[in-house]
């Protein structure tokens, strides 16, 4: 059985106070009680957390946490991982409880990117209240659409794409070859695959035929409830002095209106709204020839 959704992401940062200010003042996320002093938990719906940021020696994206609908579905995936020759390590009870799940395992993809797999929908019934006045975030009924999506680099593209399809059960949504250097004779283009989990979100993971990212991921996406939420976050990001990686724009494949902002951990967050929803059972994959309908002017990091 396939991954149900992107349950959470884990990041690492040398300065948790910088992350706290960025998350609350720019993104409008809510700080949640953490199991340890060296962990910052952030929520955007009625799950106990969606972002886990731990203090460490580097600033980086660490891994996604993929949710399964049942223990049986999780166990089937763990067996497929073993048969595919990937490592499977069961988490101890301490970490399982800290992650607020029923059963938790660690593994990695053919590129060596770590991830966690879990089942168990734990709720603490504390209402989400944005400190920046964000009206809400789109995670679906009972959170079934998950946190959003994650984009990973995949230099060994074919093997990595095949792994996420055949071992973890993701489905094809959209393909693209994007000419990020202008499309001249020297530009071979970059292949992308956008894959959906078993929910209505257009894609929960995308793979880019790119060199390994020093920060572990290209970006993650958070979907706000309205265009006003996105516009106000864009203003807050500029007022905060955060690095804007891409200006406001609209993607062609998932119709997301968004901007990209650099996190204190070095990876980007796409902050968007109005993303397309699909029926994963009947969706016919598309191929997109351009990235955006308008906007999304990419900038260079100068900090």
244-287 confidence digits (pLDDT tens): 999 999 999 999 999 999 999 999 999 999 999 999 999 999 99
Cβ-contact 195, 204 below 8 angstroms: yes
> Is residue 98 a part of any domain in this protein?
yes
The confidence score (pLDDT) of residue 144 equals 95
Q: How confident is the model at residue 45 (pLDDT cuts 50, 70, 90)?
A: very high
> Is residue 301 a part of any domain in this protein?
no
Cα 76–Cα 81–Cα 83 angle in degrees, nearest 5: 95
> How many other β-carbons are positioned within 10 Å of the β-carbon of residue 111?
16
Total number of residues shown for the chain: 303
> Is residue 303 a part of any domain in this protein?
no
Q: How confident is the model at residue 300 (pLDDT cuts 50, 70, 90)?
A: low
* 169 has pLDDT over 50: yes
> Is residue 203 a part of any domain in this protein?
yes
Distance between CA atoms of residues 280 and 271, nearest Å: 23
* End-to-end alpha carbon distance in the chain: 44
Distance between CA atoms of residues 270 and 162, nearest Å: 26
Domain count, the chain: 1
Distance between CA atoms of residues 177 and 179, nearest Å: 7
The confidence score (pLDDT) of residue 240 equals 97
Share of the chain above pLDDT 70, in %: 95
**Would strands 148-153 and 205-208 be described as parallel, antiparallel, or unpaired?**
parallel
Each residue of 60-88: pLDDT tens digit?
999 999 999 999 999 999 999 999 999 99
Distance between CA atoms of residues 6 and 26, nearest Å: 22
What is the span of the domain harbouring residue 49?
5-295
Structural Rg of the chain based on CA atoms: 18
pTM: 0.95
DSSP class of residue 20 equals H
Q: Average pLDDT, whole number, for the chain?
A: 94
> Is residue 17 a part of any domain in this protein?
yes
- β-strand partners of 67: 5, 118
Element (H, E) at 230: helix 227-240
Q: Going by C-beta distance under 8 Å and a sequence separation of 6 or more, which residues neighbour residue 92?
A: none
The confidence score (pLDDT) of residue 210 equals 85
> Is residue 302 a part of any domain in this protein?
no
Each residue of 101-117: pLDDT tens digit?
999 999 999 999 999 99
- For residues 39-58, give the mean pLDDT: 97
* 183 has pLDDT over 60: no
The confidence score (pLDDT) of residue 303 equals 34
Cβ-contact 271, 245 below 8 angstroms: no
DSSP class of residue 78 equals H
* 181 has pLDDT over 80: no
Can you give the CATH number for the domain in which 42 is found? 3.10.180.10
Q: Please give the backbone phi and psi of residue 280, each rounded to the nearest 5 degrees, phi first.
A: -65, -20
Report the sign of the C-alpha dihedral through residues 13, 14, 16, 21, in that order. Answer: negative
> Is residue 171 a part of any domain in this protein?
yes
């Amino acid at each position: 059985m396939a991954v149900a959704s992107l349950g959470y992401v884990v990041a690492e940062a040398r300065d948790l106070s910088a992350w706290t200010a960025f998350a609350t003042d720019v993104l409008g996320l809510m700080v949640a009680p953490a199991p340890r002093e060296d962990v910052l938990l952030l929520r955007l719906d009625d799950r106990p957390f969606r972002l886990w940021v731990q203090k460490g020696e580097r600033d980086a994206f660490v891994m996604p946490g993929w949710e399964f609908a049942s223990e049986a579905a999780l166990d089937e995936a763990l067996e497929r991982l073993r048969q595919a020759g990937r490592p499977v390590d069961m988490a101890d009870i301490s970490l399982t409880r800290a992650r607020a799940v029923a059963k938790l395992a660690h593994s990695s993809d053919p590129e060596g990117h770590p991830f966690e797999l879990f089942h168990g929908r734990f709720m603490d019934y504390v209402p989400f209240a944005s400190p920046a006045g964000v009206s809400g975030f789109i995670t679906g009924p009972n959170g079934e659409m998950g946190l959003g999506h994650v984009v990973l680099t995949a230099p060994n593209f074919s093997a990595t794409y095949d792994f996420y399809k055949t071992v973890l059960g993701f489905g094809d949504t959209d393909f693209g070859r994007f000419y990020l250097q202008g499309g001249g004779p020297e530009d071979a283009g970059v292949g992308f695959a956008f894959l959906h989990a078993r929910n209505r979100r257009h894609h929960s993971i995308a793979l880019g035929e790119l060199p390994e990212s020093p920060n572990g991921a290209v970006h993650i996406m958070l979907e706000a409830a309205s265009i006003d939420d996105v516009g106000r976050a864009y203003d807050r990001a500029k007022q905060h002095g955060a690095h804007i990686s891409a200006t406001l724009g609209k993607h062609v494949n998932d119709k997301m209106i968004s901007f990209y902002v650099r996190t204190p951990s070095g990876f980007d967050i796409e902050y968007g709204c109005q993303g397309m929803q699909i029926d994963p059972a009947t969706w016919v994959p598309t191929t997109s020839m351009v990235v955006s309908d308008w906007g999304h002017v990419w900038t260079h990091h100068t900090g």
